[in-house]
Chain A
Amino acid sequence: MRPRAAMHPYLMVAPTVLVLALFFVYPLFAAAYESVHAWDLLTPRRYVGLENYRELSQSGALWGAFSRTLGFGAVVVVFSVGLGLLLAISLNRPGRLYELLRGAIFSAYVVSWVAVALLWMWILDADAGLLTRSLRGLALPTTSWLGNPDAALWSIAGVTVWKITGYAMVVFLAGLQSIPRSLHEAAALDGAGPLARFRYVTWPALRPTTAFVATTSLIMSFQAFDVIRVMTQGGPVRSTTLFVYAIYEEVFMNLRVGRASALVVVFFGVLVVLTLLNLWALGVSQARRARA
């Protein structure tokens, strides 16, 4: 299809380009500019070169936020994808009971983060929480889930997995239902058992779905803020201060726009690297499939 006028394609994409430039590109350049300045919003900004990066690096704040965010993201992605897939396979059957179970599991995804956080604060209460009492009832060890620096991040990762697994399950269900039944029937006729059918039919067909679920879960884990704000406020001892929360804390609590901007720039770099890795992995996978 040829445009009636040469300008038409540009006019069509102009609104999108404008929105992207205004809300994504400009703020990014603004953050890069602020990251080499010291500024508190109240007094004139002062050029400090790479001082903000040096301070964040020397204080350990940068590496801390980076490692915690990556660890948190890895746990959330692995468990939400794994559980989502398991649930999708288990519940991919007709019947009222299965419909009810699918609906119940997905419902967590549509509840607000604040409500989820409040609910889990009660469940994870170190004394009277449901989890603590259940574990004690079974004579199992327990801890202060949100007060122990070694446990808090993983407790929040667990809450995040609980909330987003329903979403992963629904996407996997869509993927499963798009696999032609004839493929499974042919494999069964060839003598493939349930495990072999999963390995050679279901899993290869679900690869694009898995990549999509993993990517969106990673994005959700990197955006974690509300749940941390409500449940731990980044503590104890900064053990739940992920990148986004660290940025918030620097700019709004510590009055340091420059350091927050330096974190933004580094976070952007991390996301770019992860995106490139993702594209590379996708390219390798497609090349393999093309060779096969």
Chain B
Amino acid sequence: MKRRALLAAGAAGLLGCAGGDGGVPLWFSYGGKNREALLALVAAFNAEFPAHRLSPVYQGDYFELLAKLRTSLHAGRAPAVTHVIAEVMPYLVSADVLEPLDGLPGLGGDLGFVEPLAQAGAFTNGAPDRLYGVPFNRSTPIAYYNGDVLREIGREPAATWDDLVSFAAAAQKGDEASRRWGFSVPVDWWFWVAMLGQAGGSLVDASGAFTLGGDAGVRALAFLQELVYERRLMRPPPGRDYNAWQVQNAEFLAGRVATIWTSTAFVRYLEDNAKFPVVCAPLPRLERAAVPTGGTMFVVPKGGPPAWHEAAGHFLAFMSRPDRSNEFATKTGYIPVTRAGITLLEQAGYYEKKPNDRVAVDQLANVMPWPWHRELFRVQREVVQARLESAVLERRDAREILDAARAAIERAR
């Protein structure tokens, strides 16, 4: 064992990208509770597997980490293991920069993952047979309500889009200077995809071509415009990407908005910091209930020495154990990624004590898988996101905007 550790350290040193303290580098995103929970798990792994000691290195938010990962892959200095947003996996796999994981120690066979959260169930339209990602930080969007407001206006969480409108209208109060807004959601691709699904559409057609939901995509976008301009029940939070999410969380915590849609990842954070009871609920339906999955997958970049792959395999197997995945999930609000883990929590009566944690688990029945498409990530970042902002913030015609997006996707092919 000692010899193996020395070899690993030597190889890492030669590659020049070992962690700060000479361990096997693990890159991760996000601070706060998520960081604390992950670092505790890494410490437990290091205690159990001292020969494969990991050095966790914080690399900013998901997009910052991805940028650094690409440059490190190009420079031949990629970490041993990292996590990336799930939507970028088709791109990375097609670029042949990820190591298949099913050959790594402890990662063969059925790992007991919750299907909609794992690679096999999170993607459709040509996902590969080989395993490239182990689910981690997996989430769905959910609705958060200010419990005091629910009591104040005597309402239940909205079950349909119509309910949402009437709830927001009843909850909104105050003048411009001290308004409590009825509803808020970041103008973001993730939530628009959820609404597109609720309106009965899907991102791609049977052949895998991007339709952006057709009429359902337009309905989703038009509904956001209606909430902002006609009904004046929502003010889109400023900023882009995750900054908008943070601003929205702050407004919810300050009591300036009655209900928000955001990731289940914030359950613990919002519960711990709110001065009012936080009530979580599934997203409302229109034609049907639908949510996309979010969050990341652990991946192993190609190019590392065998000792790193071995360490990565042990670590991913460790993180896939029901007790370990539950530890992360219960500390943060992310969904437990193993079936056995959920069963364990059910048997222990955890969800009776923490009903908010149950919402995302129940929503897994309504998950819309992402298309396994090389350009999925670019369609999101380059083509759709800015156009969604334009439609909502500049009040442009929803159909024209999505037609332009489809034309841009076609041009880029």
Q: Which residues of A are at the interface with B, using a C-beta cutoff of 8 A?
A: 40-43, 55, 59, 126-128, 133, 136, 144, 146-149, 152, 231-238, 252-255
Contact = CB atoms under 8 A, between A and B. Distances in A.
Interface in B364-413: 377-378, 381-382, 386, 389-390, 393-394, 408, 411
B236 A147 contact: yes
B108 interface: no
B92 to A, nearest CB: 7
A41 B71 contact: yes
B386 A253 contact: no
Contact of A146 (B74, B239, B241, B251): B239
Contacts of B411: 55
B95 A149 contact: no
Contacts, number: 78
A40 B70 CA distance: 8
B70 to A, nearest CB: 5
A136 B256 CA distance: 17
30 contacts: A40-B95, A41-B71, A41-B74, A42-B92, A42-B97, A43-B95, A43-B96, A126-B235, A127-B256, A136-B177, A146-B238, A146-B239, A147-B236, A147-B237, A147-B238, A152-B238, A233-B239, A235-B240, A235-B386, A235-B389, A236-B236, A236-B389, A237-B386, A237-B389, A238-B386, A252-B63, A252-B67, A253-B67, A254-B381, A255-B377
B176 interface: yes
B243 interface: yes
B236 A42 contact: no
Contacts of B408: 59
Contacts of A136: 176-177
Given A233-B240, A255-B378, 16 more contacts: A40-B95, A42-B70, A42-B97, A43-B96, A133-B177, A136-B177, A144-B235, A144-B238, A147-B239, A148-B393, A152-B238, A233-B243, A234-B240, A237-B394, A238-B389, A253-B67
Contacts of A232: 238-240
A136 B175 CA distance: 11
B390 to A, nearest CB: 5
A147 B240 CA distance: 9
B384 to A, nearest CB: 13
B179 interface: yes
Interface string B70-85: 1101100000000000
Nearest to B179: A127
A184 B283 CA distance: 74
A209 to B, nearest CB: 38
A41 B70 contact: yes
A20 B330 CA distance: 54
A133 B378 CA distance: 40
A238 B378 CA distance: 16
B145 to A, nearest CB: 20
Contacts of A42: 70, 73-74, 92, 95, 97
Contacts of B235: 126, 144, 147
Contacts of A146: 238-239
Contacts of B91: 255
Contacts of A41: 70-71, 73-74
B187 to A, nearest CB: 8
Nearest to B97: A42
A127 B251 CA distance: 9
A40 B241 CA distance: 21
A237 to B, nearest CB: 5
Nearest to A259: B382
A126 B70 contact: no
Interface in B189-231: none
Nearest to B388: A237
A257 B149 CA distance: 49
A148 B235 CA distance: 11
A146 B393 CA distance: 12
Contact of A254 (B92, B251, B256, B378): B378
B74 A237 contact: no
A237 B395 CA distance: 11
A42 B301 CA distance: 12
B59 to A, nearest CB: 12
A196 B158 CA distance: 71
A68 B72 CA distance: 32
Interface string B31-44: 00000000000000
A133 B71 CA distance: 44
Contacts of A144: 235, 238
Nearest to B387: A237
A234 B179 CA distance: 27
A253 B70 contact: no
The 3 A-B residue pairs with the shortest CB-CB distance, nearest first, are A147-B238, A252-B67, A235-B240
Contact of A233 (B96, B237, B241, B381): B241
A36 B235 CA distance: 42
A134 to B, nearest CB: 12
A149 B396 CA distance: 13
A40 B238 CA distance: 30
A149 B392 CA distance: 11
B68 to A, nearest CB: 9
A146 B73 CA distance: 36
B382 A254 contact: yes
Contact of A236 (B177, B240, B256, B382): B240
Contacts of A152: 238
Contacts of A255: 70, 91, 377-378
A234 B236 CA distance: 16
Interface string B315-359: 000000000000000000000000000000000000000000000
A149 B393 contact: yes
Interface string B254-286: 101000000000000000000000000000000
Nearest to A236: B393
A41 B91 CA distance: 12
Nearest to B75: A41
A43 B92 CA distance: 10
Nearest to B187: A236
